[in-house]
Amino acid sequence: MKRMWSPWRSQYIASFKKPSRQTKNTDSLFTAARKARDDDKHFIVWRGETCFVIMNRYPYNSGHLMIVPNRQTTTLQDLNAEELTDIMKTVQRSIRALDAVMGPQGYNFGANLGRVSGAGVDNHVHFHIVPRWNGDTNFMPVLADTKVISEDMKETLKKLQKFFRSEEV
């Protein structure tokens, strides 16, 4: 079996102080960001009634977004029909925004459910949208231990926020 290594993720992994054994009474980093009401600081793109869109601080690619339910829950099964519907509509809207702002040629979309699946935040279910371009995988991660993110995250944030505001009219 061949292995593919992604050493640039070590900064993300190192950000965990200890294994997650948090209770439901402990705010996730997503809940804390939502409650902070400082969208630019926390890279929150848009807020809805049941979910919000936030940029990944440790992106696989430029424009890596996460759709997060406002209500903190650890499992997909705990989400109600309204939340699930709104999340999927928000996924569609996020892809429209990324198409308009960044023009990717494809996407990876999904969720890591549970710590052993790779969920870095396992106490708050969330969904990833990763824009992909032809040639976005190159020699830099392999030879230089570096993942190139082509645009400053704050610039991407502003463009995406503008798109979401314009679509609400």
Whether residue 17 lies inside any domain: the answer is: no
Contacts of 93 (CB under 8 A, 6+ apart): 46, 164, 167
In a domain, 134, yes or no: yes
Beta bridge pairs of residue 65: 55, 129
Question: CA angle, corner 57, sides to 54 and 60, nearest 5?
Answer: 100
Strand order in the sheet with 65-69: 44-47, 51-55, 65-69, 127-132, 106-110
pLDDT > 50? residue 19: no
State pLDDT tens for residues 114-127. 887 777 888 999 99
Is 81 inside a domain boundary? yes
Q: What is the CATH number of the domain that holds 82?
A: 3.30.428.10
- Establish if 90 belongs to a structural domain: yes
The predicted-structure confidence for 143-152, as pLDDT tens digits, reads as follows 555 555 667 8
User: Is the pLDDT confidence value at 12 over 80?
Assistant: no
Q: Which residues are catalytic?
A: 126
Residue 18 placed within a domain? no
Mean pLDDT lowest for which of 56-65, 123-132, 144-153? Answer: 144-153
24 touches 71 (CB < 8 A): no
Establish if 57 belongs to a structural domain.
yes
Of the ranges 7-11, 22-26, 44-48, which is most confident?
Answer: 44-48
- The amino acid present at 96, given as its one-letter code, is R
Backbone φ and ψ for 107, nearest 5 degrees, come out as -145, 150
Q: Name the domain count of the chain.
A: 1
- 62 domain residue, yes or no: yes
Q: Which secondary-structure segment (H or E) carries 162?
A: helix 153-167
Range among 12-16, 61-65, 159-163 with highest mean pLDDT value: 159-163
- DSSP secondary structure letter of residue 131: E
Segment 59-67 shows an average pLDDT of 91
6 in any annotated domain = no
Contact (Cβ atoms closer than 8 angstroms) between residue 156 and residue 102? yes
Q: Which residue range forms the structural domain that includes residue 126?
A: 26-167
